[in-house]
Structure 1
Amino acid sequence: MTHAKSMPPLSFLDDEGRPAGLIIDLWREWEGATGIPVCFRLTEWQNTFTLIENGGADVIGGLFYSPERAMKLAFAGAFVEYSGSYFASRHLAVRKVRSEIDEPLAVVMGDYAVDYLRDNERDVRVDYYPSAEALFYALERGSVSFFLMDTALAEWKLEQMGERSRFLWMDRAYERDLQPAVQRGRDQLVMLINEGFQNIPAERKEEIISSWIPQEGESSLRLWDILGLGAAALLVGFAMFIFTRMSRRPKLI
């Protein structure tokens, strides 16, 4: 099984160089359900497609379906919902709605975000980066202030880099199912993959998913949270102002 080596929380190499993440845990569960050993081969995301083409791997652990990908890949059943979102630096996010931001939008080459923008937002200026690591390196240096990426990956990396307070979630672009995929024509392998995941109890799947992806409201502070807190502060301040003025009025005897 191949997947990305730096795409937390889906898949990554931990501090000791071992595969870890949501995709890894789900496939380990599949291994237990089928009795078929799974070898993990994590690499740059772009290389996963090459490995499938040249026989270096049997399956990409999980990705979004697209018509372009389906020209070369056969997809198994969905096993987890995943989303992609727009993020912007605080100075952009608190002053503008997403459609008014004129900064270039950073995306990772080979990511589903590229297909999404091509099909839905052709007028957006896009800067392409070879990997998520390259994009976040540019972000840390101040070259990126607006980007579209898998929601959980972006929040994971922003937290890790200490940038969560500087960048805000703005809007969800898409929410779709992740599906394993193999080389076209390998229909028996698709059936085997589906059978294995069907044999994993739903409660166990949910336990694994929730351990890696926080529930809505548990992740980073959103733009509307900021605005809501600001509005609340203004209301409290206004109430205190009125109370102070009333307390200073002369009393009638």
Structure 2
Amino acid sequence: MSATSTTSQKIALITGGSRGIGRDTVLRLAQRGIGVILTYNTNREEAEKVCALAQAAGVDALALPLDVAKSDTFGAFAAQVREALQTMKADRFDYLVNNAGTSSTATLSNGTATELDLQFAVHFKAPFLLTQTLLPLINDGGRIVNISSGLARFAMNGRAIYGPMKAAVEALTRYMALELGPRRIAVNVVAPGAIATDFSGGVVRDNPEVNKAVAGHTALGRAGLPGDVGPVIAALLSDDLGWVNAQRIEVAGGMLI
């Protein structure tokens, strides 16, 4: 992990910050002068590149490894976060973005217990238990953003596990907001539509037919990009939207309306 020289700054922790929406969020926050701790699963080199870009914006940036499917590692991860904060000359951080995720194309007919367990571990158990573990390190008055999906609102073939798991995250967000209210920690959930990234094998980004189909179902006439979502997450972490709490914000260009 690496860091720049320390300045007085707010700090955000973004899981899955080395690619896609997470990467864009890291860079948008850096542009706003917010230091970042980002996590990556396997690609340390890419995570360090993102850190370098954030540092170029003049903020501290650190990358830590984390597999959100392994909740038994969260305690050790929190210890690493404490060390990272010491490097940044801080005791706590201000913003948490539960972004890390993995795709599933399982249907009702072919979904397995193994796939259910994995999706539950990544998309519900991780935001619940990781947030729980990190709460002592989050400043009162901070903010949390969870990531859902448009598939929690509309149904598509091959998303019979993924979509419902994201719907559960939306319900969890409301409960988080209720319980963390006494600490003045606001919690919201962002639901992207189909985004052209490497997610789900890059199907929206790399398959022209899928990209065209998405555009055809979207009022604004194109598939989404990470740069459409990162600014919304960054805005929800800002004081400007400080009175927005327990809300679902869909960022989908008007998909399937």
Structure-2-length-normalised TM-score? 0.28
Higher strand share: 1
Higher RCO (Cα < 8 Å, 6 or more apart): 1
Larger radius of gyration: 1
